[in-house]
Every structure is written in C-alpha cells, then in structure tokens.
C-alpha cells in the first residue's frame, strides 16, 4: 500500500474529519449522527492513502526524483 495522499490534501482531510466527529459528539442536532462519517477522511489523512484514488491512478503526493 503506497501513499497517495499528500500535503494540503492530507491536512484538510484530518481537519474535516475531526470537525465532523466533533459535530457528532457535541451537537444536539438530529443529523449529528452523520458526523461519524468523519472517520473516513480522518483515516485517509492519517494513513495518507485513499482507496478511491486507486481506480483512477490519482495521487496528490509529490514524487521525489533521484538526482
């Protein structure tokens, strides 16, 4: 499993995931249960790997070229 999420994409996924989970935990709103979906962007940000990118061959991770 090679990493395919990098940089700003990774940071945004972690922040959005944490915000959604916080909404689920601390909100009394009837739709707060949907905040648990924040586990997905949080996990893809932490592990820097997104399975949805695989079929399309996408990556936001910069590649390093050997000099």
Closest Cα partner for 34 from 13, 19, 12?
Answer: 19
Residues 3-43 have pLDDT tens digits of 999 999 999 999 999 999 999 999 999 999 999 999 999 99
Given a contact cutoff of 8 angstroms between Cβ atoms, the answer to whether 19 and 5 are in contact is no
Q: How confident is the model at residue 67 (pLDDT cuts 50, 70, 90)?
A: low
**DSSP count for the chain of H helices, then E strands:** 2, 0
pTM above 0.75, yes or no: yes
Predicted local confidence at residue 66, as pLDDT:
59
Q: Interior CA angle at 39 toward 30 and 43, to 5°?
A: 170
Residues 45-56 have pLDDT tens digits of 999 999 999 999
Name every residue whose Cβ is closer than 8 Å to that of residue 9 and which is 6 or more positions away in sequence: 60
């Amino acid at each position: 499993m090679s990493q395919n999420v990098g940089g700003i994409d990774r940071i945004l996924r972690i922040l959005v995931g944490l915000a959604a989970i916080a909404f689920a935990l601390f909100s009394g709103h009837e739709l707060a249960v949907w905040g648990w979906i924040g586990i997905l962007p949080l996990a893809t940000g932490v592990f820097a790997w997104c399975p949805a990118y695989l079929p399309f061959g996408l990556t936001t991770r910069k590649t390093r070229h050997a000099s």
